[in-house]
Each structure stands twice: as structure tokens, then as C-alpha cells.
Amino acid sequence: MGIDVRRIDGSFAGEVLGADLEREADFAAVHRAFLDHGVIVARDRPLSPEAQIAFSARFGPLMGRRPSMSDKALMPGHPEITILSNRKRNGEAVGLADAGRYWHSDLCFEENPNLGTILHAVEVPPEGGDTLFADLALAYETLPDDVKRRIEGRRAAHTFAKHYRDVMAQGSKRTPLTPEQVAALKTTWHPIVRTHPETGRKALYVNPGHTTCVEGMNEVESTALLDLLYAHSVRPEHVYRHTWRVGDTVAWDNRRVMHNAQGYDMARYTRHMHRTCVHGDRPF
């Protein structure tokens, strides 16, 4: 059976059929689909932690412990894997239960942000817990020309600190960062329009979760421009909604998309996911 990649109806995402994620010979076709679609889905293929790490590492070096993440969310023996889960063991959370419930691009606040994220579903709720993805390359291409001129050559600031303070003030149950980790949360400046290093395609690189302001603008101007870009980016024609099934592996290109994890009834249901992240280059 050959490998087939099919565009998911009504979206930009692609479903990869017939590929074995554990087979190195299949990776070239998977990687091509990743670049072509920005989000790819492989269904019904349970992956062990070791297999997920091996597959993810074919995209590039993996990111382990980060200043923005509690060590308790890392899988014991496999620090390359972050556990996103509301499971508890001996009364303590085994992972991050409320991660990513806002539009963001993974680790955009680092000097060399995440290239891509691979998320594998081990247990999913029967309702809720979907993930939304916005195609920021398509969003850039469909901007009015006058807006493109306004953002050309401009940079925006990114930081995890604001979001972290906000969610902790709202009563998040996540394990707090250490004082040393909080001190390491810096502000980084990246171009509002970045060029994909492998495809050459341009995409917006701002998101409501971590982008705080536009360089050279006052607060009112900056907020108005960013709000305009955010509203345009999440128009229905730019968004793919993924409804998870056990055994799903979804890989997305953080150089092109942002995402938003949807809530679910954590008192009734369990959602347990394994996440790996791939090192990227500094945006240009």
C-alpha cells in the first residue's frame, strides 16, 4: 500500500494515509506533506514514547526542559516528552491539564522558536478537547495590500511571562514555575511577517497568547494593529478544527500555524496526550 496524502475537507490540513511513522523510509513523504499542509494527521496508530521520540527527531533536534515549563510535566525517563493531561497519580497531576487554551505558537517567545510540534493522543474525552489550527500563511496572503505595507519590516515582542501571570492569577492548578524559571522568561523580538526557511512562503508570526506589542508604535496603535491581524487570522476559512481519536498523531509547523486547545469537562473525562517539540531557527 502506497502513501497517500489527502486534504481534509474544508481545510488546509492533510491526512497521511498508508505511512508507518516508525519506518524511516516513509519519512520523506510525511515531511513533504508537513511542508505542503502545515498540519498533518495520522490516524489510529498508537505510538510508544520511544517511537514518538524517534519519529519527531527526524524533523530535527528535540527540545527538552524549557524555562516556561514545570519539570513535573516531563515524562519520567523521557524528558523530550511533555505530558498534557488531567490524570492524577497519588493526588498529584501527572502533566499540564490546562495547557494551550488560547491562540498561540509554541515557544514563539524564545530566540530560536519551536519548528514543529508532534502531539499523540493516548486518551481523549468523548466530547470537547478539540484543537483549532489557523493557517497564518494563508492569512498573510489574504491581507489587504495596505495592511501588508504597514507590517512590512516591523517586529513584535513575544513573552510567556504575561500569560503565565494571568493563568496563575485565575487559579490554574498547574505546578508553579520556580523563581529561577520565572526570572528566565525574557521578551524576544521577531518579525511580524516571517519567511519559511524551507518553502520561502511568508506567514504572519504574531498571536494573542504571547505577542505583546509592535515595535515603534504606541500602545493604542499597536493594540489596534495586532487585534486586526488576530481577527483576520482566525476567520473560519483559515481555521481547521481537529477532533481527536485515540491513536491520532498530529504534527504542525509552528513557522506557519498557530493553535488553540479547546476545553472539556475535566471532572467527568480524561484527556492524556504526549507532546514533542522540535528546535527551530531564528525567524527572519
**Residue numbers annotated as active site:** 104, 106, 259, 275
CA dihedral 118, 124, 126, 131 (to 10 degrees): -30
Q: Strands (DSSP E) along 136-174, which ranges?
A: 155-158
CA distance 259 to 240: 9
Q: Specify the 3-state DSSP secondary structure of 107.
A: coil
Strands 14-17, 39-42: parallel, antiparallel or unpaired by DSSP?
Answer: parallel
* Per-residue burial over 195-214, b = 16 or more CB atoms within 10 Å of its CB, e = otherwise: ebeeeebbbbbbbbbbbbbb
CB 229 within 8 A of CB 221: no
Other Cβ atoms within 10 Å of 62 Cβ, number: 16
CB within 8 Å of 200: residues ≥ 6 apart: none
Query: In which residue are the cell numbers 522568561 written?
Result: 185
Cell for 242? 481537529
Helix locations, 2-123, DSSP H: 27-37, 49-57
